[in-house]
Amino acid sequence: MRIHLAKLLVLSLSWLPAGSALGADESKKGALDGAPPTLHGSLRLALADAVSMGIENNLDVEIERHGPLLAAEDLGVAWGSFDPELAAEFGVTDVETPVATSLQVGNPVLAERTVSGRSGLRGLLPWLGGSYELGYTGQELETNSVIASLSPEFRAGLLAQLQVPLMRDLFWGEPWTNVKRARVGVRASQEEFRRQLMDTVQATEDAYWGLVAAAEQLRVAEKSLDTASALLEQTKIQYEVGVVSRVEVTEAEAGVAEREVARIRSDNLYRSAQDRLIDLVLGPNLTATSRLEIEPTDDPAAISVREVDVEEALRKALERRPELALAREEIERQEIEIAFARNQRLPRLDLVGSYGFQGLAGRDNPSRFNFANPGTPPPPVVGIDSDYGGTHDDFFSGDGARQWSARGIFSIPLGNVRGRHDVRKRELELRRSERRLRRVEQLIVLEIRDAVRNLLSSLEGIEAAERRRLAAAEQLRAERVRLEQGESTPFEVLDREEKLVAAESQKIEAQRVYHASVTAADRAQGTILTSRNVVMQDASRLR
CB 224 within 8 A of CB 502: no
What integer is the mean pLDDT of 147-159?
90
| C-beta atoms surrounding 324 within 10 Å | 18
- What stretches of 283-375 show up as alpha helix (H) in DSSP? 310-320, 322-344
Q: Hey, which residues does 116 pair with through a beta bridge?
A: 91, 139
Between CA 366 and CA 369 the distance in angstroms is 9
* Residues 6 or more apart in contact with residue 323 via CB below 8 angstroms: 195, 440, 444
* Strand order from edge to edge, sheet including 85-98: 85-98, 109-124, 131-143, 150-165, 348-364, 401-411
- pLDDT at residue 26, rounded to an integer: 39
* Residues 6 or more apart in contact with residue 319 via CB below 8 angstroms: 526
Chain-centroid distance, C-alpha 400: 58
* Residues 6 or more apart in contact with residue 91 via CB below 8 angstroms: 115, 116, 117
**If pLDDT is split at 50, 70 and 90, which confidence band does 6 have?**
very low
Question: Is 70 exceeded by the pLDDT of residue 16?
Answer: no
What sign does the dihedral 42-46-47-52 (CA atoms) show?
A: negative
User: Is residue 241 classed as helix, strand or coil in its secondary structure?
Assistant: coil
Q: Radius of gyration of the chain from Cα atoms?
A: 43
Question: Is 60 exceeded by the pLDDT of residue 12?
Answer: no
Strands 291-296 and 109-124: unpaired
Between CA 353 and CA 407 the distance in angstroms is 7
Per the omega criterion (within 30 degrees of 0), is the bond before 284 cis? no
What sign does the dihedral 70-74-77-79 (CA atoms) show?
A: negative
* Residues 6 or more apart in contact with residue 18 via CB below 8 angstroms: none
Per the prediction, the chain carries an average pLDDT of 88
Q: Which residue type sits at 193?
A: F
* 407-411 contacts at long range (C-beta below 8 A, 24 or more positions apart): 407/351, 407/352, 407/353, 408/349, 408/350, 408/351, 408/352, 409/348, 409/349, 409/350, 409/352, 410/347, 410/348, 410/349, 410/350, 411/347, 411/348
Kindly report, residue by residue over 318-362, the tens digit of the pLDDT: 999 999 999 999 999 999 999 999 999 999 999 999 999 999 998
Strands 291-296 and 40-45: parallel
What integer is the mean pLDDT of 13-19?
36
- pLDDT at residue 104, rounded to an integer: 63
Q: Rounded to the nearest 5°, which phi and psi values hold at 381? A: -80, 130
The structure's pTM equals 0.82
Tell me, what DSSP letter sits at residue 164? E
Between CA 83 and CA 126 the distance in angstroms is 10
Kindly report, residue by residue over 464-507, the tens digit of the pLDDT: 999 999 999 999 999 989 988 888 888 899 999 999 999 999 99
Q: How far is CA 99 from CA 94, 370, 377, in A?
A: 16, 19, 23
| C-beta atoms surrounding 99 within 10 Å | 11
Tell me, what DSSP letter sits at residue 347? P
Q: Percentage of residues in the chain with pLDDT exceeding 90?
A: 71
Between CA 521 and CA 310 the distance in angstroms is 10
Kindly report, residue by residue over 243-302, the tens digit of the pLDDT: 888 999 999 999 999 999 999 999 999 999 999 999 999 987 788 888 889 999 999 998
* Residues 6 or more apart in contact with residue 125 via CB below 8 angstroms: 82, 131, 132, 164
Q: Percentage of residues in the chain with pLDDT exceeding 70?
A: 91
Which of 34, 52, 497 is CA-nearest to residue 256? 497
Question: Is 90 exceeded by the pLDDT of residue 396?
Answer: no
Between CA 456 and CA 308 the distance in angstroms is 9
* Residues 6 or more apart in contact with residue 441 via CB below 8 angstroms: 318, 324
Kindly report, residue by residue over 107-133, the tens digit of the pLDDT: 778 889 999 999 999 999 999 999 999
* 5-9 contacts at long range (C-beta below 8 A, 24 or more positions apart): 5/37, 5/56, 5/57, 5/282, 5/285, 8/39, 8/43, 8/282, 8/285, 9/37, 9/39
* Residues 6 or more apart in contact with residue 427 via CB below 8 angstroms: 338
Kindly report, residue by residue over 36-85, the tens digit of the pLDDT: 566 778 899 999 999 999 999 999 999 999 999 999 999 999 999 999 99
Question: Is 90 exceeded by the pLDDT of residue 14?
Answer: no
